[in-house]
Amino acid sequence: MNHGFVRVAAAVPEIKVADCSFNAESIVEMVRRAEAEKVQVLCFPELSVTGYTCADLFFQQQLLTDAEKALEKIKFSTLGNTVAFIVGMPLLVCNQLFNTAVVIQGGHVLGVVPKTHLPNNNEFYEKRWFASGRTVPQEIITVAGEKVPFGTNQLFSDGKFSFGIELCEDLWVPIPPATQHALHGAEIIFNLSATNELAGKHAYLRQLIEQQSARCNAGYVYASAGYGESSTDVVYAGNGLIAENGKMIAASERFSFRPQLVVTDIDVERLRAERIRNSNFINDRSEEVYRTIKLEDACYEKFDLKRTFGKHPFVPDLLNRDANCAEIFAIQVGGLAKRWQHTHAQTLVLGISGGLDSTLALLVCVKTADKLGYDRKQILGITMPGFGTTDRTYNNALNLMKSLGITSLEISIKDACEQHFKDIGHDSSVHDVTYENTQARERTQILMDMANKKNGLVIGTGDLSELALGWATYNGDHMSMYAVNTGVPKTLVRYLVDWASHQLDRESELILQDVLETPVSPELLPADEKGEISQKTEDLVGPYELHDFFLYYFVRFGFTPQKIYFLAQKAFEADYEKEVLLKWLKVFLRRFFNQQFKRSCMPDGPKVGSINLSPRGDWRMPSDAIGFDLNE
């Protein structure tokens, strides 16, 4: 495998009903195409050797004989190929006819899986021709001159990944066979199908496949009959669909008049990471004895992934932007509302810097007050200009508080910090970590004391990305009484503020848009000669879009640094050189491990997405753990 990826394909060949010789040639041609694409496992549609729509011709001995000859032809024509592939054909076993999936690799039949659930409705009458896989009379049969396992309780594995098989209707029943396949270890499910088209059915089919792959924490490869099947009463569109853990990652063109090979890569390591975290995953595993059939290792050490990876895994897609953003705000508001009511606080107190994080926190506070029917004046925003505060952020802070109608207060921290420097004997011209952290802690002290004075609750503004990097002053901006942004990474903060700006009046929108264009900075060092921000966070710790990418794959799936680096190269190949990615990934790993002590005592805050770093819930890590090395 290549970093845990397995290359799979769904084939939709051209077929002719009952012309097994022609169909065999079509199958062999697509196997050769798959081999050239470095596919490891290839799936064909249901009854692809004969055609699905043969109807009562399945009772004809000539068709069954032709099918066996076609299988022999397919087998010997692919003798030198390493790709494992699955074809569908009718098979006579002990005077019963079965609708089967035949697994072939390197010119040998490895196993045969019969269909379990047979449709018997207005469109399909399979029970007229076939027996269910539940009635398998024997476990070893002779196929194409080889004795092979026969039954539904089979998995196929090369030692690095394993797969199971079900056929068409098996997917549509309450408990599909794939469920037990997955519980017994199958990471990828292949479905040989022949689903006809009806208005609205395709959308339902996609949902069904996505949901089954999600429930099983599995990859799901679906190959359905297409052009060439009989159109006497129904039409087949040729659906080649591939899903991974609830998401469709590749699909064929429907109603195409040409053969199609849908190829993509399934991340088996990601699937295993999901299963490891799901302690209930194997609880419902049946006591049925499964057997695993060995595949030859068809792994290609080097191949270019067919998959693409988004740069911003935390950011929702634009198609559902309103619904996604509204939901995230609702979670933040719900958490804060409960805490506000529980504490009986008269006010919410938070520092407003004119930066992204405090802006989002303020918006959450305003929405919470509105939701509870409280006066916005019960929100006390305090701007605390210091040695690095610029006119731009200062004015944005003041204007935003005014436009949102909250209570505002300005308290300069300069004199207090100068006095503190004298008290501890620090030279204020030395702009070191003491110089910076003194300002952060002074601001937190003001907020805490004002909360005491106003019977208030200090609302933290720091985000998930800052927690991951430890980019916060311990017992300074690191601390609050409730932190509404701790589940929101920086890339998502920006997305939310931009969305919120379009929900407000024109004045507020302009302020928020300027906040979005302002460089991210703690503003703890003096401004430059032009009065602009000199201390830019991303120049010091690296681009937040990279750190959020690293964080997602490190925490969500537990990927190795090597794999994260590999994925980052794929996602950001047009934006960053490899050396730059490597540099910032090393920074991420070093800071993530070194700064755990700050996360070990972080305040309460709502979880928003799939990742949170609260020591009470999602992330429990010793503060003195040894960091991981990144060896290319």
Contacts 24+ apart (CB under 8 A), 60-64: 63/18, 63/20, 63/90, 64/90, 64/92, 64/97
Annotated catalytic residue: which of 46, 244, 269, 545?
46
Q: Confirm whether 115 is a catalytic residue.
A: yes
Structural element, H or E, at residue 621 = none
Could you write out the DSSP letters of every residue in 262-277?
Answer: EEEEEEHHHHHHHHHH
Q: Confirm whether 168 is a catalytic residue.
A: yes
Could you tell me the CA-to-CA distances from 629 to 8, 116, 325, 338, 556 in Å, in that order? Answer: 32, 49, 37, 42, 19
Annotated catalytic residue: which of 168, 299, 325, 417?
168
The 3-state DSSP class for residue 164 equals strand
Angle at 383 between CA 377 and CA 384, to 5 degrees: 145
Report phi then psi at 12, rounded to 5: -125, 90
- Strand segments (E) across 46-95: 84-93
Report phi then psi at 621, rounded to 5: -145, 135
Beta carbons of 623 and 495 less than 8 angstroms apart:
no
Residue 620 burial (10 A CB sphere; 0-12, 13-18, 19+): exposed
Q: Print burial letters for 352-374: b (CB count within 10 Å at least 16), e (below 16).
A: bbbbbbbbbbbbbbbbbbeeeeb
Q: Confirm whether 46 is a catalytic residue.
A: yes
Annotated catalytic residue: which of 73, 115, 367, 598?
115
Q: Give the integer Cα–Cα distance in Å for 611 and 62.
A: 59
Question: Which distant-in-sequence residues (6+ apart) come within 8 Å of 64 by Cβ?
Answer: 58, 90, 92, 97
Beta carbons of 133 and 115 less than 8 angstroms apart:
yes
Catalytic positions, please? 46, 115, 168
